[in-house]
Amino acid sequence: MTDPLSDRKMVVAAAATAAFLLLLIVLASPIAAHEEKLEKGEGVTYDARSLIIHGKRELLFSGSIHYPRTTPDMWPKLLEDAKRGGLNVIQTYVFWNIHEPEEGKFNFEGRFDLVKYIKLIGEHGLYATVRFGPFIQAEWNHGGLPYWLREVPNIIFRSYNEPYMQHMERFVKMIVDKLKDAKLFAGQGGPIILAQIENEYNTVQLAYRELGNKYVQWAGNMAVGLNIGVPWVMCKQRDAPGPVINSCNGRQCGDTFSGPNKPNKPLLWTENWTAQFRVFGDPPSQRSAEDTAFSVARWFSKNGSLVNYYMYHGGTNLARTAASFVTTRYYDEAPIDEFGLERGPKYGHLKDVHKALNLCKRALLWGSTSAQRLNPDVEVRIYEQSGTDVCAAFLTNNHTRLAHTANFKGQDYYLPPRSISILPDCKTVVLNTATILAQHNSRNFVRSSVTNKLDWKMNSEVIPVDLKVTSSTPMELYFLTKDKTDYAWYTTTINLSPRDLSMRKDILPVIRVASLGHAMVAFVNGQFVGSAHGSQIDKSFVLQKSVELKPGINYISLLGTLVGLPDSGAYMEHRFAGPRGVSILGLNTGTLDISENGWGNQVGLIGEHDELFNEDGSKKGKWTDLPKVGKGPPLTWYKAKFDTPEGNDPVAVSMYGMIKGMIWVNGNAIGRYWMSYVSPLGDSTQAEYLIPRSYLKPKENLIVVLEEEPAHPSNITILTVNRDTICSYVSELSPPSVRQWERKDDKFKPVGPEAKVGARLKCPNRKKIDVVDFASYGDPYGACGGFAQGRCSSPVSKQVIEQVNAIVRILKISINSESFRGERWN
């Protein structure tokens, strides 16, 4: 078997079990925080090349991990995994609306404990970037701004507006003071090396005209005046004032960023998007490890000194913290997925990129740079330190489809399409961005063996039919709910005579509701009529359903529902939601407009007021068995008990069979689910929802589900989550892993006697290889968890791997720190 490149490949896929394997897997030792203390010193300065931290230059590899999108019990492992992945900086926003949900009332407890989180970052030997905002966007409810700010008289968000600037400055100063009091800035010996004010303001600045220009200057100067001892940045802000550094956000900043607005500022990349956030109705979001790696290598090859992955771990929009239509799961395709599990190969490949760049560190930070174009598609960027042998080179093939062989310093180098080869000594390729040697994996959702069948009970909401009239027209929904709930009732009545109604049974009147968003459930005379909703792109919608009306009084009950507040755009304080026009079509007397009929309101559901979602509240009301046939009624609360699943793997709940609503476990809000809003691929955008283990007790955990539409909870399932399907992929054209190289005593050399090409497998969490599912020496295709044989393959591939695995298990031989290795499989 041959192909044009004689590129034979070995793919191995295996499954792991929870049994311990001695010697086979070499575990990373725990972080010794006392050995990782950050130096005290003069703080942080910068020049055109880089940030200078305590007098030293650093290549900075940063990742966004937001403290309220995880739980405090998850923080240590996330930080450990980030550091092990090659990061030395953690970036987070500050979330105004969780810290000051009501004006003057503050919350810094639990997963909102900002100071504890920043301290923990420092204890793990990592630096921190704090993005103060206070507008943050971040697909977070209201862009981080508290709802009460909307009701401040004469306020205009993010403009040169006195009420807004006064509240913004007060909040930012309060957070800065809290961090100063805890001695968390670098000049105080803390981990914070960088701060951000505002967020991507250039995208809306023109809408505010001159007031926008004045606001940018005010915000930057206000921040600098706080004297925190570290630089400030403004992302995507070409006119960042004075010493404030303008930084790049995007996927390819190495080629799209126009550069700092002053020659003495360094190139900083504050958001390298590792995928794309998802909204309900979206298909899966993807960004390949190869493309991400290319973008990072490209950035550093062109004088970049800091990259931040947005997100490195996306986490979960717990409770009602997601912005309009944004899913509860956030940036799940990041290097560490929603459940805190390393997503291979993205995690491992980026780790290798960081290692390769660190091997070039001296040349990158202290060398002079030059560039050559070797052919129309291939260029080389070189960093050299005069008078020394310090030299690093980046060979770049910019063609997206064609591979090239480039000659550099008398040696030929094979470059796959759209790839960069990194040469820390200007001779040796330690990594090509398109060649992944890191381990792949696939995620598995496993039904818990201890939860058994959930014994559900139900409690239906009473549909209000004649609430006290409070306004002539339906009230605006954001104003009604004030971000305390997603729900508000609108009721009105109409009195019809027999002559208003058609005599034909096949002709029914139609109710039409024009709404500004986000969704609605409609009832007439207490009976469910139907539902409708908008989308993230177009929040407004029209509900039209046939209805059965009767002579006399008819009761119209509309439940307006929100799916988060807006998080972006200009003049957010002027966004509105809820029903704007209501009419009845098909009456003998014509269309009846009841928009100004007089409307009553009820904010929230009775079950919310009674707190049916917690242990005490769940004992209230009348709970009954589920119907044996058919679905439960709309607007029904369901509750059940379950024991904590076995093991230590993350826990999730699958919501197949349900429609739309909210989930609670032991009184903790898990988030919104929306199973009926399917993507163009025909499946729910999100079906499984994380249950943090810290929310659980050993037995008798209470799960409560609020379902808005007719449904039956019998298919709800408690799951554990793992990435125990692991794979490795290697080609004869692959270079040895970058992990086989080191720079010691300023010398670049192999870690062992020589660097060898190999495929390696390592089980997660001290597990062992249990089954070899697939092996191929040939031209396999597919992805981990779904590989298939190609046109040709060695028939003994799987047998060879199984024999090697068996020998290793019998002899308990430690073969490398990766637990499994193969070299040039023959």
Are the C-beta atoms of 49 and 365 separated by less than 8 Å?
yes
SS (H, E, C) 679-698: CCCCCECCCEEEECHHHCCC
CA 223 vs. chain centroid, Å, equals 28
Q: Does 384 participate in catalysis according to the annotation?
A: no
Contact assessment for residue 542 and residue 512, using Cβ atoms and an 8 Å cutoff:
yes
Return the DSSP state at 477: H
SS3 224: helix
**200: annotated active-site residue:** yes
Residue environment code for 581-614, b if the CB has 16+ CB neighbours within 10 A, otherwise e: ebbbebbeeeebebbebebbbbbebbbbebebbe
Alpha helices in 444-584 (DSSP H): 477-481
The token pair that represents 431 in the structure block: 């990594």
- C-alpha span between 180 and 230 (Å, rounded): 12
Distant-in-sequence, close-in-space partners of 125: CB < 8 Å, separation ≥ 6? 31, 33, 35, 36, 37, 38, 83
**Which residue is associated with the tokens 């390592």?**
762
Q: What share of the chain is helix, strand, coil (3-state, %, to 5)?
A: 20, 35, 45
Q: Tokens standing for 292?
A: 């991400």
Give the CA distances from residue 556 to residues 463, 468, 490, 499, 526, in Å, rounded to whole numbers and listed in that order. 10, 13, 8, 20, 8
Q: Are 657 and 707 in contact (CB under 8 A)?
A: no
Catalytic residue among 200, 342, 688, 707: 200
Closest to 516 measured CA to CA, from 532, 534, 531 = 534
Query: What are φ and ψ of residue 166, in 5° steps?
Result: -65, -50
Distances (CA, A) of 61 to 39, 84, 398, 490: 19, 12, 24, 51
Question: Which among 275, 394, 407, 431 is positioned nearest to 343, based on CA atoms?
Answer: 275
In angstroms, rounded to a whole number, what is the distance separating the alpha carbons of residues 344 and 85?
A: 12
Quick one: which H or E segment has residue 174? helix 162-181
- Alpha carbon distance 719, 452 (integer Å): 11
CA-nearest of 649, 639, 641 to 448 is 649
- Angstrom CA distances, 86 to 80, 83, 807, stand at 10, 5, 33
Q: Which amino acid is at 526?
A: G
Reading the block at residue 50, the tokens are: 């880089």
**What secondary structure does DSSP assign to 576-631, as a single string?**
--SEEEEEEES-TT--EE-TTS-EEEEES-HHHHTTTTSTTGGGSS--EEPPSSSP
* Phi, psi (deg, nearest 5) at residue 168: -60, -50
Q: How far apart are CA 510 and CA 556, in angstroms?
A: 12
628, amino acid identity: K
Which entry of 58, 198, 271, 476 is annotated as an active-site residue?
271
Residue 424 corresponds to which tokens in the numbers above?
Answer: 């820390």
Active site residues: 200, 271
